[in-house]
Structure 1
């Protein structure tokens, strides 16, 4: 009898020991809690996907991925997608994890919020140690300090080695450098776009950073003068960069887990290998929108250029092609080679309008702008934001940003208000004849996606349109002075629909230029 009891106790003890790693793994897995009575589970990340089931209030969901405002979850024996705005999440510590940026100029912020200050930017393919996640944000080691990046624009991967070491602090021999990314960049006397211009620098020039002020870096020029450069038009590096080697085609770095490496340069060819984010391959040849790469077993494969980050030497493989010829290769449905300025209305001490229920316009214009930015970047656009936090930016400065980058489109986002609380709907404005077509396309895209009253496309004497030499549109996305409409337009669901509509309008506009 005692032997049987001892045998059972031994089995229970062994089972407990075996379950501990599983319990620990689950403790580290991100979970969210449903905060509405019933939440639909969909087959994909959007309201247009089919409903495959539902979950109920206070139910815990295991998150395995994210896309914009949608969560990829475990759902029974399969997976599904739920809207993030109907869930709440807790801070989850991370071990042996790295993040890989999927986009260029991804903001690193001081806090997990779009209203917090930007401490720097990272480019696609850059990798950083991850500390923890909080909702849709991940804390990383950024050049010796901690910062936050949005999960929509990164891929999480395992640390390549078992030992996790924080990035070393900069040493005097390897100062942080700023590398100019545009053809010509003005040097200002102060960290302000309206400040006196004291010189110009050119693409590829590198400078030691003397100090920073929000989105500005102070540098010393060859003539000894000190001035300020706008950091949107460059990138940061820790070492002096040598010119690309002429005897190598360079490398590419995979940006997404499960990326297909194929037998030929076509999406319908056989998959020979699946690669994860962070893996790098030597490029043998560039063929249209594909890279031919060398595999470890000496065989070759092809990978699409839009799912990888090329090294500087790889980018130089096609530099002998005339610029206009490269632009003409843009395919329908993409925005490759185009620069688009997104103007989040108001900011700082300019609150914009305040809704009947207390919503500040400046807050939701920024949220809308950031979501639109992610969609345009995913289509290949070079996106420049006139503001990236809760800061005041003069209207003329906003226009000058578009002029400085020769923007192909300038999109100004606003929410409306009038004394009459019954007025409702959305409106798209233009000022000059060369802006009208873009405004109409953007408006049509919105009309297809949102259910607000359509107030049409109209001329509007706004400074960001009147003084703008670029093709521009100012969109009023509903009336905050109407309590019912305010409740609607301030939801993540509406922002998802509205930004998708604007995105479609921009795509359709530039596609029409190729006809």
Structure 2
């Protein structure tokens, strides 16, 4: 009886011990940045309560979006998930995909260093390390550095249904065709490598239109027969796989090409419209055969036999057709209106990036969105084609925002923000430019604002902003007052102010183009 009682007590002690451990006990990550800020809450606007160093091991207590709650010293804190790496991750090098065209590869992690090469949107490189906001890569046999905002890590998994946790196993072009027989090159020149990795030695180069017998597939890589004795591996993104076997009713015509996803969490929709329901979400680097093209949307084929639509401004394509469907016809410019112009309006922040929080509790990401939507309406009424970089509370990478402007050959790019300062007495609006050719637009918009709103005019100033620096279109970043100033926040969060401010920006654009 005594032994049974002792055994029961021991059993209860064991249960209490394990139940007292924090949830996610076995789940740990390591810091993947030279320094990592620990914040009091899950967002960039929460105060920094400490710092961690590279390679430190962290135990996850809780997750909220892209933020991890961790044990920190004698308390708890939050860190950005994207600056950590899983301790269970494979030691094999990661592959990253460029989200923008003409991404500069630099000799060292600095914008002042020499450009040693460029990456096209959708091309893949091997990541070899990271230093702050820069990633060291090996690309086409050379080493260099790229800015982390403009690339995404390629995932091994495929798309997820938006309304369930069901994950479909890896989807690649190699898997879209059952037992592929032929690989046809779709780019001007394509490197053939000894092994299925970007770090492997280059065997030779092959040219557009050449076809080769497929020996095997390995994820996104295809092994081809070069001649009677020689074989090599090529990346499946840059060609088309075909089979002699009969195809199903959902088979894709061979001349339609493929799309490559540029951003993690890209929405696939039921119909070609941003208002259509999201049926899947997919990650950067994944690629899908094109079924058809409808205006600014691609209908694509999924591995489960279904079709979905993806917006053309969030993908890059290998289009094998000879059609001129991608050639746009320019609308004649009409003086006194904005007809014939394409303007990209960028509501700053979004998703996990709240922006600044005002003295009275206003959240910048919410204000920028409603302001941008009001501005878009005015510009559309004046005849402009307007593209919003986001139309909901979602996070869009800085590189993707610039890429949207470049993809649409925008005549102007306007990024909307609200400011903050540690000194609560600072007030006023500012129009920023980064490159000299952007200055006239910044001055015109600043003049339009000054004639319509009563805030202090801080003028058109130089500012080193990613969305302007890496944007080849004419752009401006507007800070519409300080949320950190209690009285100014009360004024700039009203409908009346937004109406006046957006009219001022519209007037500035009109004056600039006239």
Same fold (TM over 0.5): no
With normalisation by structure 1, the TM-score equals 0.44
With normalisation by structure 2, the TM-score equals 0.44
Higher helix share: 1
